[in-house]
Amino acid sequence: MSLQKRLDLKVGFRCNNNCIFCAQAHKRHLGDQTTDALKKHLREGKEDGCTEVVFTGGEPTIRKDILELVKYAKDLGYEAIQIQSNGRMFSYKNFCEKIIKAGATEFSPALHGPTAEIHEMQTRAPGSFAQTVQGIKNLVELDQYVMTNSVVTKYNYKSLPELAELLIKLGVDQFQLAFVHPVGNAWKNFDKVVPRKSDVKPYIHRALDIGKNSGVRMMVEAFPFCFMRGYEKYCSELFMPRGEVRDAELVIKDFDRWRKESGKAKFEGCKKCKFDLICEGPWKEYPQKYGWDEFKPVLGNKVTRI
C-alpha cells in the first residue's frame, strides 16, 4: 500500500462520450464545477495531505480551463498530476504538448476494446476508437507515462486478450482491467452490460499471461482474489494509494474506508478465506443481482501481503 495520498478530483460530469456503462451518468444533470470551486478543492486537498491529484469527471480535457487548473495544481506543489480521460483530446498532439507543459505527469486514457466496433458500441461515440488510439500513440511519442484503463463488460470480456496485445503494441507503461461498477448507466443497463465474474475469469487470466513478459505493468480492479488464483499479485487492491474524493455533491476524506465499508461487500464465507484481510470483495451491487454462489473461499492461513 502506497504511503502517498491522492486526491480524486471530479471536475464535472459533461462528456463527449456516452458510455453505456458510465458510473457517473446519473450525475450528468449537475454539469461542471466552476474554476474557482475546483481551485478551492485543490487547495483543501493539499491541506489534507494529498501529494497527488487525478483530474477526472466526466471528461476533464473538454474543459476550457483544464490547462489553468493543471498549472494551478503544479503551483500548489502536487508531485504527480494525472489526467484520467476518454483519451480523445489527446489525438491532438498540440493539446498533449500544452497539458504536459502545464504540469501533467501521468495520463490515463480509456480503451474498452481492441477494435472500433467493440469500443464504440460501448462509448456510443463514432470515431472515438481512432481518436483514443491516436491519443495513446501521441503520449507515448512524447515520452509520457501512459496507464490505460479498460472497463470489463459483457461487450468486451471475450476480447480482453486481443486488447492486451494491442495495448502492449501501442507501448503503454501500464494497463488496468476494471470490472464494471454497476451504478449509473451500468445499473440502468445491468443485464446488457454486467457479465458474470466466473465467465470473465479465463479471459482476464489470458490477458495477463499475454502481458507477463512484455515489461508492461498490469492490474485488475474489483475482481476479488478468489477469482485470481495464481494471478493474485495483479489485484489492484495491493497498489491503491490512500485517497480522498471531491465532486459537486460530496467530499469523501477517506475513500479507502468508504470503498471497503460502503462501496463493496463481502459475505459470511469470506471470513474463511485466506485472502479475507486484504480482499475488499466485489462492488456491492454485483451480489445484489447475481448473489454469492460464484464466490468460493480459498482455504488456508490468512495472509496480509502477496
In the chain, which stretches have pLDDT less than 50?
1-2
Whole-number Å distance between alpha carbons of 116 and 111: 10
The whole-angstrom separation of Cα 8 and Cα 1 is 17
Residue 61's Cα: distance from chain center in Å? 16
DSSP state of 156: T
**Mind giving me the DSSP string for 92-138?**
SHHHHHHHHHHT--EEEEB---SSHHHHHHHH--TTHHHHHHHHHHH
278 close to 41: Cβ distance less than 8 angstroms: no
What pLDDT was estimated at residue 1? Answer: 43
Bridging pattern class, strands 174-179 and 145-152? parallel
Helix (H, G, I), strand (E, B) or coil at 52: strand
State pTM to two decimals: 0.95
Running DSSP on this structure, what letter comes out for residue 261? I
- CA dihedral over 153, 24, 235, 280, signed as positive or negative: negative
Structural fold of domain 5-262: TIM Barrel (3.20.20)
Q: Are strands 106-109 and 174-179 parallel, antiparallel or unpaired?
A: unpaired
pLDDT for 179: 98
Give me the residue label for grid cell 459483457: 154
Q: What is the pLDDT of residues 126-180, one digit of tens each?
A: 999 999 999 999 999 999 999 999 999 999 999 999 999 999 999 999 999 999 9
Domain limits, the chain: 5-262
SS3 15: coil
| Contact yes or no for 142/96 (Cβ under 8 A) | yes
Our CA dihedral for 86, 197, 263, 10, rounded to 10 degrees, sits at 0
Of 119, 86, 109, which Cα lies nearest the Cα of 16?
A: 86
14-27 burial: b if 16+ Cβ within 10 Å, else e = ebebebbbbbbbeb
Q: For residues 96 and 85, give the distance between their C-alpha atoms in angstroms, rounded to a whole number.
A: 12
